[in-house]
Structure 1
């Protein structure tokens, strides 16, 4: 009994002594626990704040991209509407009441679609012409789009708010431009009425969420149109305040729901002002939707942190009790490990503790797993009791064992590792990707494993979709933009050539027009398959848009390699496509650019391949051609000429010269030919041969021809003011003018404007003009002759006209091409042929003019042949106009002409 008492006393004493010596350790343990809690919660709060900031930054950036994209779409819509108002204004002011919107809509000049109406309102507010079917009877005098234009002294595009249209009884946005009379007074308005949905439903990028916002604002921040999710608000109920706190042409901010939005939902908004029109496109992304994943994560993190904190406190209590009860350190450590393992069993992360295994030399040859949780054992395809005690080399095999050993040795040295690991062959987890965290708190390594295979698959799928054309499954433009720079760098290092084949399908448009877009899509898919079959196995086919494809040919030793691929592509398209709606044949036009000769970067190579394809298109299609720098320069030069000519037409740089025709009998000036010149600001006076072909090809000849007619009539009116006797002026008319406009109406307007009689105007037409659309041409010419206009056949002998055509079209004057005049003195046949022309013309009642007369001998010969008139440098070069018509009353006796 005494022994027991003595033993108990010693035990209590030891306990008191242990407690006395352990108190600092106990306090340190408590302090460390509190520090861990503080650090953990601080890190958690910082991480949550970072996650929130990241989500908000991404939302703001997304809103900015939406606003930029919608501003661009809005600008294009406003520009299209503006062009329509200008087109109708110009047509109405030029043609007057003969300009009908209904016929123009049928001809395709103005798009007629649901919710899009074009009208002309006269000066009294009544509807004159419209694309509206069965418009309501109403008067627009009191409408803002009419009254503002009536009061305005300038020509501007009026943009209204959504209101109920008086002609359609539908909610529309009004656009208008004023119409002017010739004396500059108000003559009504051109009105374009567009349903609000036209501006807001065409843009669906990112707007499918129920609370995302798209809004169109005026410069004063007043709301025109608004859309939240799929709902479009009308003018009587707007979800956005007219006083949004935004400024500048573009920007972004967070706006609280109160007081800015009627639904009281806060949003990340961005705005962008459209160029030229001042309209503001504003996009808003709902804050609650953006932060929903964050709130879920925040709640989950607080829950896990609370559990972890409770566990840590529990660890501290266990440690305190252990110290209080004099527990051994190993028991404390085992209890803590067991508690941590129990706390993490319900999570998605697995862990194991790896202890280094050294050989006799102190080298680490393996790692032994001394502890793990159930999730960690499951990931490694073991039960927990089986895994504990195994080494890494017995768990992993082959390359997986080597890689894991290397990773653990590295973490043992650096004390930490975290990152994504792709599973290797022999990895027992069988997973694709793991996120591994390794730390070294003491001599052992704590390894945490998390399966991220699904996340990686999702990211990979997103990347694949963004780089893949949805219709054909081929790589798209984004893919080629990302791939080409690296491919070019690789080709440069390996000193190999790389080629781009720019492919356009010939005849694809007719498939869409005749069979529909579904057949067109089917053809594009089949075309993609044929292209893949035609190229080499290691080459790529890319669809960059529409019916355009690009083939990347790598590892080339010679340019002929690209030509061989192009040949195979051409042959593969020789067979017609069997579509669900029938057979259809298309070809390919292929332009080829080669690195490094044709460009050093992706943009240049693509542009030059496109240019080479254009060269094939212009030379007959269904072929291939390498990039030609000379052709590219010629195209660029032609494009430059076109832009400068357009500028010249808009800024009145064209001037008129006049070359007289002389009557062979009287020796007097019988007429003058109007010849256009370009007064170029840097090149001086430019001859028409340098710009008329470009005008013909681009269609600018219509505007040019109208200006020539206007300038000639204005010049005649000026000369008439002096009271002198006038002679007619002949004007050259292009075939395109007869094809695309009513020349008689254009001429009649100019004659009326300047009060010039039609007898003073002659029109010169080439033989090719007479050959085209003969019934319509005959009708147009008869209309001109009925006005009193004289008609001349210009450059006769260079075309394919016949005597029957001349007789049928009833021309007044025949101008013989200068090539026949030049042969008069070179051979007897020249005179015989010219004599035959004169005899033929006289028999048809036509006068004959010899062009290109340059010598006195030619004058004498023509007089002998009874030619009626002559024109050429021997008589006079083309001259700029003066105060009087040149040589109107002069005789030509000095030329050997006259009685």
Structure 2
């Protein structure tokens, strides 16, 4: 009979290009030969001989269209979805275009109205200035009975800085005075009483400023506007007209093409709808007549509107804003050409259309690729179906259990359970059932020996995320079995593999126990602390409770080792470990960091008082001597306490602060407990810094020698010198010996410092000798530690010899 591994191999054997699947069919019933067939015709036969195979495969390969038929709807969904996505995207894009254009038009209308309002405010100030000049002329005319002069108005200028052109006409319409003689033509002077500025002021009862129409010169290149007020005599009767002539371009502000475009305009319109002043873009001809729709809109004091290009005559539409000039019969208009205002929007539309076109092409390519891949997927699914049965049989020889499960859904499509589609014998054995019992059975109905709820949770995770993995414990014959489960989702089914990892788990557990256990005391070791203390800190922060770390260092342990030997020291550490476990509370953790250092972790504390109580019990455990095989050992303990979150927020700082607190106990007499003190920590850091600075000072020779003279009281002659060392600190300045000698004594740096002093003194004596000074004995202060750790006799002889100094007369103290 053909073996299972060969069946598995055949199921995944690469097919020739013309084949869709591989199946076996007997060539002749009497011969043990089988061949690869393609449909009904043999295709490059492969003969397999010498295999006992009483059964054969029927023709499992359907025609390609039959293989694709279940997936035709899915394949056709690609172009349908592509069309829907493309259509929706273009509709959304066109809708965005419309909204952006509307927003840009609103902004343009608001902008032109704002410009018109700004220019109206400026124009009002200009007109008020001109009206003020006319009123002053009338007052002087009335006060001086027509004998006034215009000299005092010579410095009055229009907004552009051009002096005002002022003329005064009497009641008889004759020109009485002017500061611009060439302004009036002879023809105008002959018919002044018929000109609008004079006739209106003479006939009107209203006493206000009259604004005339723009009057062009002969070349129609320049215009003037005449502003007039009537003159009164002392009786208040009409006595003439005062006229101020101004270039209309100077009445309104400069034209800004960056805001209004090259086809925009600024204009001032009278209450009669006729233009009084204007400024235009470079390529826009002068407005002869306002569009009808615009003249109708000017009935309101202010506003804005879009005026089509056919009304202007040049085919360019404009956004026009208008605002009445307060106190004067004038309206200021600002027009921005539509191409300029909408340029940015149209550029964005063009770029968006190009991007959308490219995206549509990419979507088309994606749809075609999706259809192609869907067709290939259908063929691959068919091949997988053909190979599934062979694969299941091949897994029977494996040590792993194998399941195929499918979800069971309710009417709403929600998964409510899972059913076993297929499994192998090994999987059935791990489930405490047979294969026949499991196939078609729901997971929720499995044996109670199997933890069903965790298994269903893993299946649900795989359905949601594609894969899941976990361990389950099951009870069988009173024994606990650990099973490793891996779940992979394939379409709407789940492939589940099970493996018995009971022995593996036991081995790992034993390794972890050895890795996290101190071999001497049986306590958790430093590796355990590094793994578990971060979790304890996280629990304390999450629960709002305090956590304390007690750093315990034995006092006198070195003496026990030196006196009784290392074996006695090991025995002492074992006893200490047991005493510490008894001293702490249930649930507290005791660990050995190494040597004679231990650590106690206290969780769920409500304050420092509880930590202090445990520390007191730890100290109490060492009051009595410790009986060991070699005798009785007397040891104590120095306990440093660090609190979380009060003293530290992370593990490293928590351990460091506990160690510093323990060191403070050591320095203050041992056999006690202290909480972490930031002040002590600061002092210790300062001492360490000074220690590092002293070490650098010795290396760089930052010391200077001062010499104190000893004088004979009788002869008043110097008899010897005493060398006194000073530290020339780079930052603190000159330091005296009491500020660094004690530190040098404690740290042992007094020895190299003494060598520096001897070398400096000998160099100075040699220099004095070379300068012809009489030799004098020089005494040097030497520490007792120098005598213990250095051969001072050799040191002095080497220094004297190096500098060529005779040893006579030299002495040290």
Scaled by the length of structure 1, the TM-score of the pair is 0.45
Higher relative contact order, chain-length normalized (CA < 8 Å, sep 6+): 2
Structure having the higher Rg:
2
Scaled by the length of structure 2, the TM-score of the pair is 0.49
